[in-house]
Amino acid sequence: MAVLVVAEHDNASVKDATNKTVTAALALSSDVDVLVAGLGAGAAAAAAAGIAGVRKVLHAEGAAFDQGVAEAVEGLIVPLMANYDAVLFAATATGKNAAPRVAAALDVSPISEIQEVVNASTFVRPIYAGNALETIETSDAKKVITVRTTAFAAAGTGGSASVEAVTAGAPSAAVTFKGAEIVKSDRPELAGAKRVVSGGRAMGSADEFHNVIEPLADKLGAAVGASRAAVDAGYAPNDYQVGQTGKVVAPELYVAVGISGAIQHLAGMKDSKVIVAINKDADAPIFAIADFGLVADYKSAVPELMGELAKAGL
């Protein structure tokens, strides 16, 4: 069988999510092609050709692809699927936006956020915010899948696939891109960060969140996250939200400060390698899943931790 992976990229390079999706695709078949659809995306296509295990790269150009417009992605991929048995997207905002559209156009049931490939038609995926895992088998001839990238290792480099241009149809007139506000930050992106520091409702204000969580994150070179309670209270923006209704992360180190550990938050971070919890309530549910718990008021504990990290050379 032949599998198509839809690349996540910024035109200049491919994102780590692409390499991880390639790993998932290689578990289905050894015939894996990557589609790079963008604007001036030649460099990204060349980078995709270097991913180990990739057979061929398809490169499509169009402004609508640059903005991830789902209608354009559907129009591009559906005809290509004549040559493929499965298409895999990373389960990012862009992938989740487009994949079901492609599935409906092909009359197949999409399979969302797989975290394991059992065989080419059987997959494991989280339901109920990761509180249960379902193993499902599809009877559809063609498969449309999104991949929870935190569950797969990134495919390496060293490949030398060929790059082939594919032509895209006219973009949909019903959708017009008006603009984007991408938060510029020197911190790593939350979804793929190796370290994450998150703050909860205990912060009490946006200023406190800014003054306590962000310096600790910067000390650790970490991304900043927040609980839904902190987002709801207006202490942190929504795109910081870790949890069932926000981002799912699995960094090497997750530091939860003043977060009690509601089910919905745990669902978004419980697959982290090492979890640290700092909370003054010794009975907070977060301690039940933390590798290292420090029962202390964050107001004294975070400055102390900053001091100890500085001593350790950070």
Partner 1 sequence: MKVLVPVKRVIDYNVKVRVKPDQTGVDLANVKMSMNPFCEIAVEEAVRLKEKGVVSEIVAVSIGPQQAQETIRTALAMGADRGILIQTDDDLEPLAVAKLLKAVVAEEAPELVLMGKQAIDGDNNATGQMMAALLGWPQATFASKVEIADGKATVTREIDGGLQTLEVALPAIVTADLRLNEPRYASLPNIMKAKKKPIDVKSTGDYGVDVSPRLKVLKVTEPPKRAGGIKVESAEQLVGKLKEAGVL
- In the window 219-248, what residues touch partner 1 (CB under 8 A)? 228, 231, 238-239, 241, 244-246
Residue 305 sits in the site that holds partner 1 (CB under 8 A)? yes
Residue 13 sits in the site that holds partner 1 (CB under 8 A)? no
Reduced to 3 states (helix: H, G, I; strand: E, B; else coil), residue 54 is strand
Which residues on neighbouring strands pair with residue 102, listed in sequence order?
none
Distance of closest approach, residue 160 Cβ to partner 1, in angstroms: 30
Residue 71 sits in the site that holds partner 1 (CB under 8 A)? yes
Write the DSSP symbol of residue 172.
Answer: P
Q: Which is nearer to partner 1, 195 or 201 (CB)?
A: 195
78's tokens: 């559906």
Residue 276 sits in the site that holds partner 1 (CB under 8 A)? yes
**Residue 167 exposure: Cα atoms within 13 Å on the Cβ side:** 2
Residue 149 sits in the site that holds partner 1 (CB under 8 A)? no
Residue 289 sits in the site that holds partner 1 (CB under 8 A)? yes
- In the window 173-212, what residues touch partner 1 (CB under 8 A)? 173-183, 189, 191, 195
Q: Interface with partner 1 by CB under 8 A: which range of 55-63, 81-89, 99-107, 156-164?
A: 99-107
Q: Which is nearer to partner 1, 39 or 314 (CB)?
A: 314
Residue 218 sits in the site that holds partner 1 (CB under 8 A)? no
Burial label for 46, CB within 10 Å (0-12, 13-18, 19+), is middle
- Helix (H) / strand (E) containing 92: none
Residue 283 sits in the site that holds partner 1 (CB under 8 A)? no
159's tokens: 């490949």
- In the window 120-139, what residues touch partner 1 (CB under 8 A)? 122, 126-139
Distance of closest approach, residue 126 Cβ to partner 1, in angstroms: 7
Q: Which is nearer to partner 1, 54 or 231 (CB)?
A: 231
- Alpha-carbon gap, residue 87 to 4, rounded angstroms: 5
Residue 101 sits in the site that holds partner 1 (CB under 8 A)? yes
CB 147 within 8 A of CB 20: yes
Distance of closest approach, residue 256 Cβ to partner 1, in angstroms: 12
- Helix (H) / strand (E) containing 149: none
- Alpha-carbon gap, residue 24 to 91, rounded angstroms: 12
Out of 2, 42, 67, 210, name the contact with partner 1 by CB under 8 A.
Answer: 67
15's tokens: 């994102």
Distance of closest approach, residue 165 Cβ to partner 1, in angstroms: 26
Place of tokens 């589609």: 35
Distance of closest approach, residue 47 Cβ to partner 1, in angstroms: 19
Distance of closest approach, residue 154 Cβ to partner 1, in angstroms: 17
Q: Which is nearer to partner 1, 49 or 85 (CB)?
A: 85
Q: Which is nearer to partner 1, 32 or 114 (CB)?
A: 114
- Alpha-carbon gap, residue 13 to 40, rounded angstroms: 11
Burial label for 197, CB within 10 Å (0-12, 13-18, 19+), is buried
CB 150 within 8 A of CB 250: yes
- Helix (H) / strand (E) containing 274: strand 274-279
118's tokens: 């059992």
What is the x/- site pattern for partner 1, positions 26-65, by CB under 8 A? ----------------------------------------
CB atoms near residue 262 (< 10 Å): 18
